[in-house]
Structure 1
């Protein structure tokens, strides 16, 4: 017998038959659950209930009525009480007000974040008074709707009998109002004051009776009473119905136990024999389905469970007992095939290694290892230390040659390292001009190049710092000179005025004071504008601007200055209109500063060129003029504040115009540059095109 068992236990036919039994047992379990769900909402507890009075069904019948009566008596009371707002919970009102207050904070112009919470809330209460009232009315309407719904539900109940009263409102489906009348029925629940009368007494032994107690505790014992009674006809009907349900569910329960035991035994059997041809076979045989990655397998299992739930949920409950087999069997067959694949991988010890995540990590680690293997000096040094003895052992007959090659290689490496070490020491001592040269293309050459790059950066940083210090010194000197000159004149002429009695000279002195004070005002205004522009703290209103029209109109406004200086302006631009995206006021201020610079420093009687060019996504505006002064300083220095083209500083400029123009253009997302070529001075402004310039 034992030999026959070993012969048939691992046959493919046996496994298929057992697999079919598993599917049938699993489907039988599901069918038992469905039967109980249809009859008793999935509750197997009825199997262990002694009689109807000990059942959950009895408590549900009573609790449904008591719960509704309790809500009417404690919460709603009457329609008049609801309309007066008596049923509204303050927490509900507060929640509605908080929602409206959030809307007030976001959408109301009256909300001021600088005010206190109380001050804002007072404003909210005044401004949103109507909306708060509407929200309160809506809560009342909802309570009124719920009140009538509960009353209608109770009016539709013929049995059991019920009575609920708070001394004013009465809710009942019979004319009986005395509790003695309810005591005449074969089963009743009477809750009056602090007393409760329950018949028959075994009802209090019901494990579900706490549900009724929880509802009764909400009543006010001094004024509210609730009676419920079961008529003999209704009680007999419910008892017979309960017995029928118990019989069906008991049968389903035993079926469930039988199918469950069969499922456990057959599943354990398959787990034991799957993947092997005999009990002594140590090798696990994998199937084509086992090529599926473990994590993908688990995802598919979850998808199958979700599919089953979705299909079952879409089926009408009345047809469930018929459709449970065609829905469950195919999904269970695929699902258990995947589960048994997992079992084979566990036996084969590939449950973790045969996952997509593991595969990806393995490929990544392999890639890193390959990179490491091809890697840096440290890696190569380790490989050299390990590899050289192996090379010597393999070529022992030519040991002197390999030793000489190794010595030559080591000498070159040491020489390169020494050069780098000495070079770093010189740089550390302050010789940042020193450059390290080791030659070749190895790692030491790359290290030397990186160190040289650092020294280049240090040189640039030092040069930049020196230039910055020099410019700061010049800035202080220039600011002091430009402000002190008119200020000194003002002080001098004030002293002269104090001593002068000649009216004609007094008038002359006052005129000079007026000129110097205006000059001082221009300097301070320009200084303030320069600081404000460079900080970027200026609001920008972008708009579509026709740059050709702007320049044409601007030149017309300054035509008098052009004629006074005998300048010839040459304006070159495309035939079609060119639109840019900028702030009109700030752009004209920038252009005005450039023109002002031209008027102050250009050679009288010379030509001034203005060009507008299409530069792809930008528009280039160029101003070119011949300087009346020798330009012996760089363009970068001219862009510095208080820097002028006339080193004698005899002109009326402040040296801030170009700096202000540059800052204003940059906050409009543009670029401002200048170029100096001999006496030719060129200002270039790049501004972004208007996005819909073709419209």
Structure 2
């Protein structure tokens, strides 16, 4: 069913507008509902700043001479001034060292003119004398500091008087700025204690704003000291706390502060007033539109609730865990509110001329997503399966984390140490003094814990690597068990499992190989000679045959019996080898000599075959530990294979060479029969290149050779390139 997208958008827009209006009401309601410009927070803040600055700058400024007379110098201040740069010896030593370098650096360059040289010498002496006098004066001043408290007291008093002068200069500047900046503030105020009256402008009947200070309404009460921290731009001196010197106290005033109606018609005050009224109008407009949108949404939702039916989305939503559904609806709703609030703020900051369209569209989309989720979640909660929620899974995972308490506790301790170590490192960048604590904690806690953590993880990775090798079938060596930790216990368990798997694999391979070797294709290769034996035995029963025919039948029976015997013997031999139930009598054997003997053994057959054998065998001995009889069987089978299945009148290549630590036998010939693509099948039992089985042979030659090579830890690889058949055998040498 096609979803009515237009209705969804309209309903979502109505919700966004209604929610935006509600956000506006909660954020700005106290600012605009039933308030005028003079009730606004911006004007009230401006008035507070004016009141706090007016008293110390214009109404209750202390007398500078009285302040200077009240200056008090304490004994602690004298000691601080006296030892500010160290004790007497340190200060004198520092002055002498400083002037010593300056005096020595006044030497002028030599000149050839005697008159000029004398003049330069006089200048040099004058400079030196001046520096020496300056140095001696400072040393004398320092000594006098340590000899007389009155001397130091006079110096401190002069410093404080300079600070008082600087303070009153800053007050004069700040007063001038205040009265110029707030020139529309008129006031008529009287000091309650002294009766002195202070006025600025005229307070008449037509006042836009008026605030009366009295015993009933509250006095204007502010301290008579001005802190440069409030208006630091107007203070040029090096300020220290002069509260005691200035005689800081609160002074009370009664009277009126007012703003005339005329000042509201022009200037900065007019702009601020109109700006407030505009924002107040926008506020009421947004609230009205929001209420209308909410009412319209309620009516439309009842009619168009089915517009929010989306079966595909619902199916995907309900497939999620119940707690994920809850999080999704809260996230979409929360983000929708954030983008809505951003859009509403732009309405007030820019009067609606710069609404972030992108943000508004995102708010609408998120609101639509939330509206879709509400009925979905309601139905999901009625049939919720909390057992499959992520929260429950997380709790179960946490329980599993502590199945082995040792691992759980150790991991938490390590994480805590690493966390606080990182926090300490970050704090040290902003608080260098922490390095005194950070260094020992790093050396004796952080680094050891990090080392333990890394070593445990490395050990665990090695165990995982070994288990992956076991999965691939590579048993490899046992995992080294270090210590008595849970990870070491895991390594021990993996080693036990490895041993059991190896034993199971060996037994299974033996059993499967025996059964497979006895069954695979055995019926066909045994049936042929057996059929011949039965047939010719029946013929011998005929009394009418001649003696010549009888002799011929007996010869055939003898041949087929020997053929059957060979098949059975080869079958059992390859089965024994494949199952590992055969012992090797390994000795040191010269493979070069062994191959030469094998080729010589078949020389007569080679000559009769019409094949051109190219044998390449070096004269250097190649020694290896092998069972001589079994390895002879390998070479014998491979040579016989070339004699049986090589195309007549072609070349056969037999090579032996040593590559690195392996002896490599290579047999290559042109096949008499088409070999096909699956080369691996040629080493299977009863597999023959002559698929029609017209040639003699058991089909076990390569299989026997493969088994013998495997028992010796070597490799036998067959390759086919068109009609070229190649066998490569590798065996380790000594």
Rg larger in 1 or in 2? 2
Shorter chain as denominator, the TM-score bin is: 0.3 to 0.5
The two structures have a TM-score, normalised by structure 1, of 0.33
